[in-house]
Structure 1
Amino acid sequence: MGRRLPGDPAVLTALVEHVLGEVLRHDEAHDSQLPVSARIWTERDHHTDAAAAALHIHPNTLTYRLRRFGAPADRDPASTGALTEVWPAIQAAVALGLTG
């Protein structure tokens, strides 16, 4: 699945806060499912139709969520450069139980 994350919860927490802090706060306030949508989409190699089916939503809804993810994160999950930060942060958030 990729590079192994550090085992230190403090390091994981710092990574999540740095990359996803605003997204998680937005999600908590609005129940927008942004982090889980980005995770499922990334796990399915950016195949919007497959990810939308897994999330039981319309592909346009997923596209909207991914655009919304980019605003508070200040990172476009479709950008390879941003993905190098976003993907480990999403994995860390899951490991810490902060998102599904």
Structure 2
Amino acid sequence: MGSLQDGTDRPRGIVTKLGAAPAWGRSDLMAIYGECIGVRERTPVTISALDGLECELQPQTSTAAIEGRMDLWIGAIGPLSVTAKNNGSGRYCATFSEPLDARIIAHFAHA
């Protein structure tokens, strides 16, 4: 433990937009490459703000639209069933059908 920038003595882990979190809690520090597979197309995406319940997706092409139910590959892990919806500004929120195992989040947090 140690004093963080905000003066608290919380355990060190991943520093997120919300403050410090354990390494298994959320991965905001790196961009993760993945792919959304829908009924009609496969779309390469950049994945961020990964936690056990949802993540943020940004298609690598501006013409791609990813919404509704689909399979998501996070690196080589998948397929994971998600429901994606547009957050605006070309970003999407994907909610996992089942919570991710904490080891998956920890893997990407330490990559």
Normalised TM-score (structure 1): 0.30
Q: Which has the higher contact order (CA 8 A, sep 6+)?
A: 1
* Higher strand residue share: 2
Give TM-score scaled by structure 2 length.
Answer: 0.28
Give the greater-gyration-radius structure (CA). Answer: 2
